[in-house]
Amino acid sequence: MSKDISSHWGLTCDAPLIVQDALAYWEGKLCGRRMPARRDFDPVLEIPRLLPWVILVDVLRDPLDFRYRVIGTGITARSSRDHTGLRLSELNRTGPDSVVWNDRRTVVETRAPKLTAPSYIGGDKTIQAISGIHLPVSGDGETVDQIFTFVCYHTAAQRLIKDFQ
């Protein structure tokens, strides 16, 4: 990823590779627009190695809510269940007062990528933290219709390795 891209969106050079690659992929689809459209993406062909770590939500309005459209297999394997098709408002700990909700609301309001680091609440005891990036998608170039989120899980072993580098 170029330094210009990372500094423009507030990304540091030590951001997880998943986050860096996702942002570079999204930015490559801008083509001079504020946000790419969903039709611009073909992640199965273009970024297959990131698919296990992707979430796609539909942005619902009146009232604001978010519906899980796609959840990658790597994420589902680390969650208590598959939430595909459910709204964030229907789930515990993801409603309007949560980091998960507020990060996405910020993306809708700013129409810009947002780094995230919510608490991990799944059952895998080896996971110490989560980080990721939310990327807005727009059919008309102005209104956020969907949000791609790419997630990276951090284990204690990964942190130890990084500490000794």
Grade residue 114 by pLDDT with cuts at 50, 70 and 90: very high
Q: Name the class of domain 3-164.
A: alpha beta
Q: 87: Cβ–Cβ under 8 A, 6 or more apart, which residues? A: 60, 65, 66, 67, 68
The CB density around residue 17, as the number of other CB atoms within 10 Å, is 11
DSSP letter (8 states) at residue 116: E
Would you kindly state where each structural domain of the chain is located, as residue ranges? Answer: 3-164
Nearest Cα neighbor of 57 from 144, 142, 153 is 144
Report whether the peptide linkage leading into residue 36 is cis, meaning its omega lies within 30 degrees of zero.
no
Q: In whole angstroms, how far apart are CA 72 and each of 44, 54, 76, 83, 152?
A: 12, 5, 6, 11, 12
Backbone angles phi, psi at 163, to 5 degrees: -60, -30
What is this structure's pTM?
0.86
At 76-111, the pLDDT tens digits run 888 878 899 999 999 887 878 888 899 999 999 999
Contact 70, 162 (CB under 8 A): no
Predicted confidence (pLDDT) at residue 147 exceeds the cutoff of 80? yes
- Provide the strand spans (E) within 11-145: 54-60, 65-71, 114-116, 127-137
Residues 24-47 pLDDT 10s: 999 999 999 999 999 999 999 999
